[in-house]
Amino acid sequence: MTINIELQRAASAKSPAERRTTARLGAVLFRNRGWLPVPFVLVPLLAPGDPTVMHWVVGICAIALGEAFRLAGVAAAGNVTRRRSRDVQRLVTYGIFAWTRNPLYLGNLLIWSGFVVVSGVFWFLPLAVALFAVEYTFIVRYEEGVLESIFGAEYLAYKRRTPRWAPRPPGRGARGSHDWREAWQSELSTFVQYAVLAGMFVVKGRVG
C-alpha cells in the first residue's frame, strides 16, 4: 500500500523532462496514437504497386519479426503497455525491455514497413520510416518524461544502460516473469487486423 501511495504521489509531480515542449507535443500524439497507422495503411492500399512473391516473403518476415517484439513486450509488461494511463505500477527492465526501451514501437515500425513492402509501393518506404521517426520521437520523449516523473533515478539508470531503439544484448540484469498466454490473447485483435489487411492487398493485386 505504501509503495502504491508513493508512486501515485510521484506520478502527480511532473519531471523537467515531462514539462518540455517536445514531451507536451508527444502527449498529444500519444493520446491520438490510434490514428497514426492510417497513412501507413492507406497509401500502400491506394497507390499503385507491383509486388512479387519475394516482396510478400520479405514483408511477411518483417511483420513476423515485428510481432515477435510486440508479443515479448506484452508478455513481460502486461496489458499496461497498451493502455493510455499514467498509472504505471512497476518499471519493467527485463526480457525484451533489457534489449531496447521501446520494443512495441520498434515492432510497429517493422510491421508497418512489412506491409509497405508487401504492397510494392517502395517509394513510400523511406517516407514511412521518416514519418514514424518524427511521430514517435515526440511520443517517446513524453513517455520517458512520465517514467522519469514516476520512477526517478531508477528509470534514469535503466535509460543509461538500455538503448532507446536498436536492440543490444544486455549484461546481467533483473529477471522477471512472462505471461505469454495473456500476450497472445491481447494480440488476437491485432492478428485479425493483419489478416484483413493481407486480404485487402490480395484483392488490390487482383483488381489492379
* DSSP label at residue 187: T
For residues 119 and 107, give the distance between their C-alpha atoms in angstroms, rounded to a whole number: 19
The candidate with the shortest Cα–Cα distance to 48, out of 121, 116, 128, 126, is 121
Answer for the pair 65, 110: CB distance below 8 angstroms, yes or no: yes
Answer for the pair 170, 100: CB distance below 8 angstroms, yes or no: no
Residue 153 CB coordination number (10 Å) = 8
In Å, what is the CA distance from 89 to each residue of 83, 85, 102, 125? 13, 11, 18, 37
The pLDDT tens digits for 120-156 are 999 999 999 999 999 999 999 999 999 999 999 999 9
Largest CA distance in the chain: 62
In Å, what is the CA distance from 186 to each residue of 15, 41, 53? 31, 22, 30
For residues 176 and 73, give the distance between their C-alpha atoms in angstroms, rounded to a whole number: 12
- The structure's pTM equals 0.87
Q: What is the pLDDT along the chain (208 residues), one digit of tens a residue?
A: 444 544 454 455 788 888 899 999 999 999 888 888 889 899 999 999 889 999 999 999 999 999 999 999 999 998 765 554 566 778 999 999 999 999 999 999 999 999 999 999 999 999 999 999 999 999 999 999 999 999 999 999 999 999 999 999 987 766 888 999 999 999 999 999 999 999 999 998 888 6
Q: Position 144: which residue type? A: E
Return the domain boundaries, the chain. Answer: 26-207
Angle at 40 between CA 55 and CA 31, to 5 degrees: 145
Mean pLDDT score of the chain, rounded to an integer? 88
Answer for the pair 71, 183: CB distance below 8 angstroms, yes or no: yes
CA dihedral in degrees (184, 185, 190, 192; nearest 10)?
110
Q: What CATH number labels 26-207? A: 1.20.120.1630
CA 150, distance to chain mean position in Å, is 21
